[in-house]
Chain A
């Protein structure tokens, strides 16, 4: 351990020296001069203009093409909306009764996992109906049900191509890395430019955003198929196509289904945010209420979104984990009990809808609302907590945040480059150092250095707080099996909530500004910190702990001298995830008035400035990828040294 100090000094020393000598440095070494700016934005916009205006084939422009493609998506959207809410031919053919959808959700939950999931799924869907969110949620659901299969199919196709052609994978993989770190808003702007502002545009943006995890997991799944199974396929005499269809894809199903789950959840998260470019449904309503500061109603919609997220997540996870089972003997309904019950549900609810319209569409006057209750809470908070909250906010701003921001803005870019470069070099020579310096160079030359520093300050403050919350909670949770399980369940659940939801409570407490934004980030980004700490501490091999106990360690010594050091690489991976989450949130938080990169993207969205939106988005992505590269590499090196993983 003693040898760690000279290395740390070597890594941090030059950077610290540059910060101290800031005033002696030439100006260009502190803030990148304006003349260095590379006109990335103008270049991209030139391409965008070309694609918008210049006819490529006959008098068809690229934009005409994208609009035509977008037109196709209206088809399934209309179909699903017809089935779920609006019916067809002006109501001559009715939509499915709400009772049927509730019943089918319950049967499906029962089939996939058992009565608990059945209650959860049925209950959540029932909530949507009873609390008057039926129409909005079914619009959102139909967008998800259209976007998810399309995104899944594209992702699957790309994944297969990548596995079959090495060259393609070499291009695709880094692209996926960038796409998965690009903020939501960066997807919205090009879609708005090329397709317009509408529900279908929102759906298309959702497809684009949700596709990368599917491609990634398809690649991982296909690569992970055991070589013996592939050989068994070859020995059976499979052609290449048969191999793919009958052997590789089915054998990779578990991993691919994890991808399906992720696609569905990403779709829901994005379709809420896509309301900025006209997606209808719950997200649109939420946005509207938030903008008019009707917090109570916003909360109610938030709860509906959360219930929908939990239902979709649990059902698709159960679907992923579902293993095939042999059929039971006997009559048809005995061999297929679930199909039988589904048929019964359909028959009974159809009959009921025939008898009473209440079973088909719940009339408005019968729905409940919780908005007054939430409004009451909001009022109470405003009246009773106004002073303490204000005091807290101002104190934090004046004493911590503003000094920290000033400090960050004072750091010369050269110092950052030296620090990042030397850590990268130490971890993996040019292999790591060059990419991270490349990321940094882009941020520096893009003309958004100052904004990036503000983003970096907000993210690092939030990450510090997250670590401060996550570590103790993780340590607490790791002490007992039941605590770990509980925390795991809570983390899983909170993580399924679309990130936009987290803005609602902070607006309620802090209105707008840096403190509100940072609070939202902290709530959202603490999840991985807690989760990885718990997992890391709990996965320390049992025999090592037994050895420590027999050597006479006290529980405290075991924690700090055995478990902590061994779990530390895993905890750092948690910190890495926390940074990623924080970056996503900090951009969304631009909605409540921050002054960093998020604000720039937000403005780009207002002005439909695709170039700017993309360049700022890449800045965010590259900040994240820099941290990601360094931390994952460090964790891998450290795990190898410790002989774990």
Chain B
């Protein structure tokens, strides 16, 4: 499948003369080059594809360059090096005018601190991107009203941002970014400023919207639980480098390095991993006991597997045998083996 956004070897360096610094180091400055130079490598050689309709979550500790990477993708920040293709077109070659057009029609963004305009009501905040495009007043207010209803804020449309709670404000932020029906939706830690309970509610809301809309999404968070709940794929960043990209189960079972392993340590593995993630594929044990389903979480089958004398047969939804799962598989999956990596 053709990626929606394709990001090839992107660098972003902060400092007095980043371009010059970048080129004197041959377009690939190593960690030594930065030491004591006064330059900060916010993003280093990032290569990543975002496919249509997927939710790609970018994770990492504070300062690991997540926001900077996403701002490079929307070109709010000019990358120092590398190339970015949007629908196959070179984004970095777009003129300011083309960028305005792209942002008006193809991109939407939600911000950590909501970034609502304090002097506009909910409705006029949501209508703002349409107003900027020059959509007629009646049309844009009708469309804004639809989106306000979509995010569940009907009845509050004439309120001002400061009259709303944090969760409601972020709903406005979401509605605003959806008003123009963008193809790509960037969300920079949209729920980090909210209380845990509200955060969960907003995640559900987000999934509900995505089921309706099927956008291409780049979502930033530093909360692994949130990433697991929402992501199709997760990219983990550390000090500007993308260390690993993959589905949640892959990061848990096959972490690329200690940094990733550290991230995934507290994850409830029994609920995240499915039988298919840990089984011995291809094996075909005796068809004695009742089989287990491949896509069941380990949590649901662990008791049976551990009590059984022999490995159990694993079948897919059509009843076709996929492999076998043994006690050892379950124990290895639940209790991460760290003896080999000290």
Contact = CB atoms under 8 A, between A and B. Distances in A.
Does A pair with B? yes
Interface in A318-356: 323-327
Interface string A232-261: 101111110010001100110100000000
B327 interface: no
Contacts of A238: 100, 132
B121 A232 contact: no
Contacts of B101: 237
Contacts of A226: 113, 115
B132 A231 contact: no
A180 B177 CA distance: 44
Contact of B121 (A228, A229, A234, A326): A326
Interface stretch (B29-37, B38-46, B154-162): B154-162
Contacts of B74: 235
A236 B112 CA distance: 16
B21 interface: no
Contacts of A247: 117
A324 B115 contact: no
A594 to B, nearest CB: 49
B119 A250 contact: yes
Interface string A295-330: 000000000000000000000000000011111000
Contact of B100 (A228, A229, A237, A324): A237
Contacts of A325: 160, 163
Contact of A236 (B113, B114, B119, B129): B129
B160 A229 contact: no
Given A228-B111, A229-B117, A236 B128 contact: yes
Nearest to B103: A237
A202 B192 CA distance: 56
Contacts, number: 78
A226 B193 CA distance: 16
A236 B160 contact: no
Interface in B95-129: 100-101, 103-105, 107-109, 111-121, 128-129
A251 B114 CA distance: 14
A250 to B, nearest CB: 4
Contact of B115 (A231, A246, A253): A231
A122 to B, nearest CB: 29
B133 interface: yes
B207 interface: no
A323 B161 CA distance: 11
A602 B103 CA distance: 61
A228 B115 contact: yes
A237 B129 contact: yes
A323 B120 CA distance: 11
Interface residues of B, number: 35
Contacts of A236: 103-104, 128-129, 132, 176
A253 to B, nearest CB: 6
Nearest to B120: A250
Given A226-B113, A253-B119, A235 B76 contact: yes
B166 to A, nearest CB: 14
- Max chain B CB contacts within 10 Å: which of A235, A239, A253, A323? A235
A46 to B, nearest CB: 44
Contacts of B159: 326
Contacts of B113: 226, 228
Contact of A326 (B71, B105, B163): B163
B109 A232 contact: yes
Contacts of A232: 109, 111, 115-117, 176
B132 A242 contact: yes
Interface in B70-110: 71, 74, 76, 100-101, 103-105, 107-109
A327 to B, nearest CB: 6
A237 B186 CA distance: 15
Contacts of B71: 231
Contacts of B131: 246
A234 B76 contact: yes
B132 A246 contact: yes
A235 B100 contact: no
A325 B159 CA distance: 7
Given A228-B111, A326-B160, A327-B158, A234 B103 contact: yes
A324 B158 CA distance: 11
A324 to B, nearest CB: 5
Contacts of B116: 232
B104 A323 contact: no
A236 B100 CA distance: 8
A195 B230 CA distance: 71
Interface in A151-181: none
Contacts of B133: 237
Contact of A239 (B100, B107, B112, B176): B100
Nearest to A236: B129
A235 B112 CA distance: 14
Contact of B118 (A235, A251, A327): A251
- Max chain B CB contacts within 10 Å: which of A247, A253, A326? A326
24 contacts: A226-B115, A231-B109, A232-B116, A235-B108, A235-B109, A235-B129, A235-B177, A236-B104, A236-B176, A237-B100, A237-B104, A237-B129, A238-B100, A238-B132, A239-B132, A246-B128, A250-B118, A250-B119, A253-B119, A323-B160, A324-B121, A324-B160, A325-B160, A326-B160
Interface of B: 71, 74, 76, 100-101, 103-105, 107-109, 111-121, 128-129, 131-133, 158-160, 162-163, 176-177, 186
Shortest beta-carbon contacts, A-B, top 5: A237-B104, A236-B129, A228-B115, A232-B115, A235-B109
Given A236-B132, A324-B121, A327-B158, 15 more contacts: A226-B115, A228-B111, A229-B117, A231-B76, A232-B109, A232-B111, A235-B76, A235-B109, A236-B104, A237-B105, A237-B132, A242-B132, A251-B117, A253-B119, A326-B163
